[in-house]
Amino acid sequence: MYSPGDLIQVNTKCSLRYFIGQMGIVTSKLGKDDTMTNEDGYHHNFDSELERDLCYFNIMLASGHSHIFSDRETDLVSKGRKNK
């Protein structure tokens, strides 16, 4: 799980190819999407059970723009440090 200040890189699982390879800083944890259940009446075809537990983060990219990515779409490059 990421924390604010962690450095990430967008990986190839991101469906928007423009973002693949970009670096960014986690600015906030948005949490899980509780609507992503595969209950009766909801027709989302999950690739795997793991996708049900995706956690979303607000990421400030090197371009200065902020975007939302799931933990599946990103890889940790470096953990942020807390100032003492």
For range 48-71, the mean pLDDT: 84
The pLDDT score that the predictor gives to residue 77 is: 96
Which residue has tokens 């986690």? 26
Q: Which residue has the tokens 């090197």?
A: 62
Q: Is the predicted pLDDT of residue 34 greater than 80, yes or no?
A: no
Asked whether residue 16 carries a pLDDT value surpassing 60, the answer given is: yes
CA distance 43 to 80: 38
The whole-chain average pLDDT of the chain stands at 84
Judged against a pLDDT cut of 90, whether residue 66 lies above it is answered with yes
Residue 67 has pLDDT above 70, yes or no: yes
Q: Kindly report the pTM of this predicted structure.
A: 0.76
Helices (runs of H) and strands (runs of E) counted in the chain: 0, 5
